[in-house]
Every structure is written in C-alpha cells, then in structure tokens.
Amino acid sequence: MKLGIQRMKRVSATATVALTAGAVIAGGAFASTAQAAAPPVPTIVAKGGFVMNNGTGKTLFTKAADTRRSTGSTTKIMTARVVLAQKGLNLDSKVTVQKAYSDYIVAKGGSSARLIVGDKVTVRQLLYGLMLPSGCDAAYALADKFGSGSTRAARVKSFIGKMNSTAKTLGLKNTHFDSFDGISNGSNYSTPRDLTKLASSAMKYSAFRAVVKTKSTKQKVTTKSGGYRYMSWTNTNKLLGTYSGAIGVKTGSGPTARYCLVFAATRNGKTVIGTVLTSTSEATRTADAKKLMDYGFKK
C-alpha cells in the first residue's frame, strides 16, 4: 500500500514538472509573439526625421536627427516663441502695417499674409497671419515690434538675436537663425531633433496652441481710415482635418529646405510631436508625418 502511494506521488510530481515546463515554454512563445508584434520602423522620404513623446520626452524615431539642414518657414515657430515669451505681453496691442513689410515680401518672393499698409492689426492677429498662411510680412511686423533699437534694421537684428539666445537657452545646439522668417542669408539652420524640442516648448503657450490648431480664420482689422475689413487666412498644414488628433504645428519650404513639416497630434491622452526636413513635395512631407505619428502612437 505504501509503495503504491509513493508511486502516485512520483507520478504527480512528474506531471507538475511537465506542466511547469510547458508553462515556461508557452510563456516564452507569448513573449516572442509580443516582440514580433512591435511596429515596424517606418521608411520616410525626408532626409531627416525625429519623433518624441511630448509628455515624457522619450525619443521614438530618428533619421539623421542631428544633421543641420535649412528649415524654411518652420523658423517661424521660433518667431512666435520669442514674441510669446515677452514680459507683459499684450496680445491685443495694435501694430500699424508698414510699407516696408509689403516691399520685403515683393523683393524676396516670400509667402504673404496679405497685410495692407496702414491697417492696424493686433499682435494676436499677426500670430495667425504668421502661422497659418506663413506670412513673411507678419513675421517682419513682429520682429519690428518686439526688437529693440531706434531703427527698423536695428530692431530686426535685435529680434533675430533674441531668437538665437532663446535657442541657446533651450539647449538647441545645432540651431542658428539669420532671419525672422526662414528666408535665409546662408546660415539659417536647425535639425529635426532641435525643431521638435522648440515646438514642444512653444506648445506650452496656450496662445500658440490655439493658433496652430486653427484650420482657417477670419479676423476683423482696423483700416487706415478708421473703418474695418476682414482678413481670411487658411492654414498650410494639411494634417489638420485629415489626421485624427492633429493639433499643429508648422509647414516650411524653400529652394534649399525643400519641404519641411513640424507636426503634433494627441490621441487617448498621448501627444507625439516631431519633424521631417528636406522631403520632396507637400504630399510626401504629409505622408512622412502621418507614418511617423502612426508609429509614435504604437510605440
């Protein structure tokens, strides 16, 4: 009888070991399956790209993320960031549109907010004109308003200086500005990583977030004669309304910059933010950004 009980215990122990081993093997199989299910790293057309989790700062994707490149109008993120950081800023203070601003965009062939000489526009409206239609005239007006000096040239130089000192403060080691709008004089550059960090910093300002998520706007401005007119601006960022959760940020283009896009989206409480530089067309920069955000949300 005792012999029979001992045999039964041995059989039971053997079965337990077999079950445990099976569980370990099965667990390993499940782990392998989970690893295999990790999202494939996307391929993008752009020469440079970077994506991070905006909440944690964790890097999610890099492609030549620290290579300096021309940035086009994504430069205007810094223009807005400098304005919004001014002490005692009154977004409703008015700026009179000068002939120099319109002459500048004609001379440079720059993108325009179609500001009309003599109109009085608010700083807030200039930010919309800066970020939606990418108005170089609006950028000039803001640089002239918020730079220091007795001449327009001195004020513009001062404002660009503020852009560069802000870049330094933010730790953007591969970034330099020589213009207020991205129409470069040869040394206006940044990287996908730096631009993403800059955009993340700018998005901390509620006024910035409100502007860059706007698809289109109609703004009432005061004319030279004291009447009023409406200015209509449409955002050049095609992600708004076409990508679920898109909340900004800024397009850019130029002969050297080609096609650039700084982008951000929020889904289920998670915000991903990133940049693509030197893509080949408007369509490819948008497609690149969508791929990177899809990937970022799965990571």
Q: Give the contacts of 275 (CB within 8 A, at least 6 positions apart).
A: 48, 49, 50, 74, 192, 193, 195, 196, 199, 260, 261, 262, 263
Give catalytic residue positions: 73, 76, 134
pLDDT digits (tens, 9 = 90+) for 113-143: 999 999 999 999 999 999 999 999 999 999 9
**Per-residue tokens: 245:** 């959760």
Between CA 34 and CA 89 the distance in angstroms is: 51
Query: pTM higher than 0.85 for the full model?
Result: yes
Which residues of the chain, if any, have pLDDT below 50? 1-5, 7-9, 11-34
The answer to whether 223 touches 241, Cβ cutoff 8 Å, is no
Residue 114, Cβ density class (10 Å: 0-12 exposed, 13-18 middle, ≥19 buried): middle
Query: According to the model, what pLDDT value does residue 37 have?
Result: 76
φ, ψ of residue 205 in degrees (nearest 5): -90, 125
pLDDT, tens digit (0-9, with 9 covering 90-100), for 96-116: 999 999 999 999 999 999 999
Neighbours of 179 (CB within 10 A): 22
What is the C-alpha separation between 153 and 144, in angstroms, rounded? 8
Exposed / middle / buried, residue 87 (Cβ in 10 Å: 0-12, 13-18, 19+): exposed
How many Cβ atoms from other residues are within 10 Å of residue 260's Cβ?
A: 29
Sequence letter at residue 234? T
